[in-house]
């Protein structure tokens, strides 16, 4: 015999949609000076590596941002050819969404 309480709990879990991080346009954010400096440093470090594996700057799409469930922001660029992504996690106190 199946407990009614168990059935109700299972049904509730099925109805609750799992939250996903939200992808937003980076232009819709304000970043701290430290965050901007850190992202520039990432770009400067990876630039020469891109050239070695024949990825031209014009092949790289614009940065996007992912609002994480804990309020942090992940700035990221998806690499061409399914090669992954370059990202920087930004603590919640270092960014704001523009109104």
The 10s digit of each residue's pLDDT in 1-16 is 444 444 444 455 555 5
**pLDDT given for residue 81 in this prediction:** 85
The tens digit of pLDDT for each residue in 36-84 reads: 999 999 989 988 888 888 888 888 899 999 999 999 999 999 988 888 8
**4 in a domain, yes or no?**
no
Mean pLDDT of the chain, nearest integer: 85
**76 in a domain, yes or no?**
yes
Per the structure block, which two tokens stand in for 43?
């770009």
- Provide the domain limits for residue 27: 19-97
**3 in a domain, yes or no?**
no
User: What is the domain count for the chain?
Assistant: 1
Whether the CB-CB separation of 73 and 90 falls below 8 Å is answered with yes
What are φ and ψ of residue 56, in 5° steps? -85, 150
**36 in a domain, yes or no?**
yes
Report the distance separating Cα 85 and Cα 90, nearest Å: 16
pLDDT for 88 beyond 50: yes
Query: What does pTM read for this prediction?
Result: 0.76
**1 in a domain, yes or no?**
no
């Amino acid at each position: 015999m199946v407990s009614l309480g168990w059935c109700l709990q299972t049904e509730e879990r099925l109805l609750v949609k799992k939250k996903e991080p939200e992808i937003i346009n980076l232009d819709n954010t304000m970043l701290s000076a430290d965050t901007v400096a850190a992202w520039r440093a990432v770009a400067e470090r990876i630039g020469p590596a891109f050239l070695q594996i024949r990825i031209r700057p014009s092949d790289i799409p614009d940065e996007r941002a992912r609002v994480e469930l804990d309020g942090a922001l992940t700035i990221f660029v998806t690499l061409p050819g399914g090669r992954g992504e370059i990202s920087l996690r930004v603590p919640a106190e270092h960014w704001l969404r523009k109104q």
